[in-house]
Amino acid sequence: MELSDHTKNILGLKLPTDPRWVDLAGISLEAILTDHAYCEQKAALTCISLIQRFSDKDELVKQLAPIVTEEWGHFRLVLQELTRRNLKLGTQRKDVYVNRLMEFQQKGGHEEGWFLDRLLMMALIEARSCERFKRLSEGLEDAYLRNFYRRFMESEAGHYTLFIELSEHYIDKETVRKRWQEWLAYEAGIMQEIEIRGDRIH
Protein backbone atom coordinates (compact mmCIF):
# COMPACT_ATOMS: atom_id res chain seq x y z
CA MET A 1 0.00 0.00 0.00
CA GLU A 2 1.19 3.49 -0.87
CA LEU A 3 1.82 5.73 2.09
CA SER A 4 -0.41 8.79 2.12
CA ASP A 5 1.10 12.25 2.11
CA HIS A 6 0.00 12.59 5.71
CA THR A 7 2.04 9.57 6.70
CA LYS A 8 5.04 10.83 4.79
CA ASN A 9 4.72 14.06 6.73
CA ILE A 10 4.87 12.12 9.95
CA LEU A 11 7.96 10.28 8.87
CA GLY A 12 9.47 13.64 8.03
CA LEU A 13 9.09 14.65 11.66
CA LYS A 14 12.16 12.64 12.58
CA LEU A 15 10.79 11.79 15.98
CA PRO A 16 13.32 9.95 18.09
CA THR A 17 12.39 6.29 18.29
CA ASP A 18 10.06 5.41 21.13
CA PRO A 19 12.00 2.97 23.31
CA ARG A 20 8.77 1.40 24.57
CA TRP A 21 8.14 -0.20 21.20
CA VAL A 22 11.58 -1.36 20.15
CA ASP A 23 11.43 -4.90 21.48
CA LEU A 24 8.10 -6.05 20.08
CA ALA A 25 8.87 -9.72 20.61
CA GLY A 26 9.19 -9.06 24.33
CA ILE A 27 5.68 -7.60 24.68
CA SER A 28 2.58 -9.80 24.86
CA LEU A 29 -0.16 -9.24 22.32
CA GLU A 30 -2.61 -8.77 25.19
CA ALA A 31 -0.47 -5.93 26.56
CA ILE A 32 -0.12 -4.31 23.13
CA LEU A 33 -3.87 -4.44 22.45
CA THR A 34 -4.79 -3.35 26.00
CA ASP A 35 -2.45 -0.38 25.84
CA HIS A 36 -3.77 0.49 22.41
CA ALA A 37 -7.41 0.22 23.56
CA TYR A 38 -6.85 2.77 26.33
CA CYS A 39 -5.03 5.13 23.97
CA GLU A 40 -8.07 5.15 21.69
CA GLN A 41 -10.36 5.72 24.66
CA LYS A 42 -8.25 8.62 25.87
CA ALA A 43 -8.18 10.15 22.38
CA ALA A 44 -11.99 10.09 22.25
CA LEU A 45 -12.27 11.53 25.76
CA THR A 46 -9.78 14.31 25.06
CA CYS A 47 -11.68 15.36 21.93
CA ILE A 48 -14.90 15.47 23.97
CA SER A 49 -13.26 17.60 26.64
CA LEU A 50 -11.83 19.98 24.00
CA ILE A 51 -15.33 20.40 22.55
CA GLN A 52 -16.72 21.11 26.03
CA ARG A 53 -13.96 23.53 26.93
CA PHE A 54 -13.89 25.41 23.61
CA SER A 55 -17.57 25.21 22.62
CA ASP A 56 -17.38 28.76 21.24
CA LYS A 57 -14.87 27.68 18.56
CA ASP A 58 -17.12 26.48 15.72
CA GLU A 59 -14.40 25.01 13.52
CA LEU A 60 -12.94 23.01 16.40
CA VAL A 61 -16.36 21.61 17.33
CA LYS A 62 -17.09 20.76 13.69
CA GLN A 63 -13.73 19.05 13.13
CA LEU A 64 -13.50 17.16 16.41
CA ALA A 65 -17.06 15.83 16.65
CA PRO A 66 -16.47 13.15 13.98
CA ILE A 67 -13.05 12.32 15.47
CA VAL A 68 -14.76 11.32 18.73
CA THR A 69 -16.82 8.78 16.77
CA GLU A 70 -13.74 7.59 14.88
CA GLU A 71 -11.60 7.12 18.00
CA TRP A 72 -14.40 5.32 19.77
CA GLY A 73 -14.75 3.12 16.69
CA HIS A 74 -11.02 2.36 16.99
CA PHE A 75 -11.52 1.40 20.62
CA ARG A 76 -14.28 -0.99 19.61
CA LEU A 77 -12.14 -2.53 16.87
CA VAL A 78 -9.37 -3.24 19.36
CA LEU A 79 -11.86 -4.66 21.84
CA GLN A 80 -13.22 -6.91 19.11
CA GLU A 81 -9.70 -8.09 18.33
CA LEU A 82 -9.07 -8.95 22.00
CA THR A 83 -12.33 -10.93 22.16
CA ARG A 84 -11.62 -12.72 18.88
CA ARG A 85 -8.32 -13.92 20.31
CA ASN A 86 -9.71 -14.84 23.73
CA LEU A 87 -7.62 -12.11 25.32
CA LYS A 88 -8.72 -9.77 28.07
CA LEU A 89 -8.80 -6.01 28.25
CA GLY A 90 -6.31 -5.47 31.05
CA THR A 91 -6.07 -2.54 33.39
CA GLN A 92 -4.99 0.88 32.33
CA ARG A 93 -1.31 1.51 33.01
CA LYS A 94 0.05 4.76 34.32
CA ASP A 95 0.99 6.76 31.26
CA VAL A 96 4.32 8.36 32.12
CA TYR A 97 4.63 9.75 28.61
CA VAL A 98 1.33 11.66 28.62
CA ASN A 99 1.82 12.83 32.21
CA ARG A 100 5.22 14.26 31.33
CA LEU A 101 3.80 15.96 28.23
CA MET A 102 1.09 17.61 30.34
CA GLU A 103 3.74 19.21 32.52
CA PHE A 104 4.94 21.18 29.51
CA GLN A 105 1.57 22.85 28.88
CA GLN A 106 1.43 26.54 29.67
CA LYS A 107 -0.75 27.09 32.68
CA GLY A 108 -3.01 29.88 33.90
CA GLY A 109 -3.46 33.37 32.61
CA HIS A 110 -2.41 32.81 29.02
CA GLU A 111 -5.54 31.52 27.31
CA GLU A 112 -4.17 31.42 23.74
CA GLY A 113 -0.97 29.68 24.79
CA TRP A 114 -2.87 27.13 26.81
CA PHE A 115 -5.24 26.47 23.91
CA LEU A 116 -2.37 26.06 21.45
CA ASP A 117 -0.58 23.68 23.79
CA ARG A 118 -3.66 21.49 24.15
CA LEU A 119 -3.83 21.12 20.36
CA LEU A 120 -0.10 20.60 19.86
CA MET A 121 0.05 18.00 22.61
CA MET A 122 -2.72 16.10 20.85
CA ALA A 123 -0.86 16.43 17.53
CA LEU A 124 2.23 14.97 19.16
CA ILE A 125 0.34 12.08 20.73
CA GLU A 126 -1.26 11.30 17.36
CA ALA A 127 2.11 11.48 15.60
CA ARG A 128 3.57 9.15 18.19
CA SER A 129 0.65 6.71 17.79
CA CYS A 130 1.25 6.76 14.08
CA GLU A 131 4.91 5.91 14.60
CA ARG A 132 4.00 3.08 16.97
CA PHE A 133 1.46 1.62 14.54
CA LYS A 134 3.99 1.82 11.75
CA ARG A 135 6.38 -0.19 13.88
CA LEU A 136 3.66 -2.74 14.66
CA SER A 137 2.60 -2.91 11.00
CA GLU A 138 6.16 -3.78 10.07
CA GLY A 139 7.34 -5.80 13.03
CA LEU A 140 4.53 -8.14 14.10
CA GLU A 141 4.61 -11.82 13.13
CA ASP A 142 0.90 -12.06 12.34
CA ALA A 143 0.09 -10.83 8.79
CA TYR A 144 -3.50 -10.01 9.74
CA LEU A 145 -2.32 -7.78 12.58
CA ARG A 146 0.28 -6.11 10.40
CA ASN A 147 -2.53 -5.04 8.10
CA PHE A 148 -4.72 -4.13 11.09
CA TYR A 149 -2.05 -1.72 12.30
CA ARG A 150 -1.33 -0.30 8.87
CA ARG A 151 -4.92 0.96 8.73
CA PHE A 152 -4.60 2.56 12.17
CA MET A 153 -1.36 4.19 11.11
CA GLU A 154 -3.06 5.97 8.18
CA SER A 155 -5.89 7.14 10.38
CA GLU A 156 -3.72 8.57 13.18
CA ALA A 157 -1.54 10.35 10.62
CA GLY A 158 -4.68 12.16 9.44
CA HIS A 159 -5.42 13.20 13.03
CA TYR A 160 -1.93 14.55 13.54
CA THR A 161 -2.31 16.92 10.61
CA LEU A 162 -5.84 17.84 11.67
CA PHE A 163 -4.60 19.12 15.04
CA ILE A 164 -1.83 21.13 13.40
CA GLU A 165 -4.28 22.59 10.89
CA LEU A 166 -6.75 23.45 13.64
CA SER A 167 -3.97 25.28 15.50
CA GLU A 168 -3.20 27.27 12.36
CA HIS A 169 -6.87 28.08 11.89
CA TYR A 170 -6.90 29.97 15.19
CA ILE A 171 -3.33 31.09 15.73
CA ASP A 172 -0.77 32.52 13.31
CA LYS A 173 1.45 29.97 11.60
CA GLU A 174 4.71 31.35 12.87
CA THR A 175 3.62 31.07 16.51
CA VAL A 176 2.37 27.53 15.87
CA ARG A 177 5.62 26.44 14.21
CA LYS A 178 7.80 27.97 16.87
CA ARG A 179 5.88 26.31 19.68
CA TRP A 180 5.75 23.01 17.75
CA GLN A 181 9.56 22.97 17.59
CA GLU A 182 9.66 23.54 21.36
CA TRP A 183 7.28 20.63 21.86
CA LEU A 184 9.41 18.38 19.66
CA ALA A 185 12.54 19.26 21.61
CA TYR A 186 10.80 18.68 24.94
CA GLU A 187 9.38 15.37 23.75
CA ALA A 188 12.83 14.19 22.65
CA GLY A 189 13.91 14.71 26.27
CA ILE A 190 11.00 12.61 27.56
CA MET A 191 11.98 9.81 25.19
CA GLN A 192 15.49 9.81 26.62
CA GLU A 193 14.10 9.67 30.16
CA ILE A 194 11.83 6.76 29.30
CA GLU A 195 14.76 4.92 27.75
CA ILE A 196 16.94 5.45 30.83
CA ARG A 197 14.18 4.54 33.29
CA GLY A 198 13.07 1.58 31.21
CA ASP A 199 9.36 2.47 31.23
CA ARG A 200 8.45 -0.20 28.73
CA ILE A 201 5.18 -1.89 27.90
CA HIS A 202 5.04 -5.47 29.16
Binding site residues, Fe ion, CB under 5 A: 40, 43, 71, 74, 126, 156, 159
Between 126 and 154, whose beta carbon lies closer to Fe ion?
A: 126
Distance CA 37, CA 9 (A): 25
- The rounded distance, in Å, linking the Cα atoms of 119 and 124 is 9
| C-alpha–C-alpha distance, residues 32 and 67, integer Å | 22
Q: Based on CB atoms, which residue is closest to Fe ion, 106 or 126? A: 126
Q: Provide the minimum distance between the beta carbon of 169 and Fe ion in the complex, in angstroms, as a whole number.
A: 18
Q: How far is the CB of 110 from Fe ion (least distance, A)?
A: 27
The CB density around residue 59, as the number of other CB atoms within 10 Å, is 12
* 7: exposed, middle or buried (Cβ count in 10 Å: 0-12, 13-18, 19+): buried
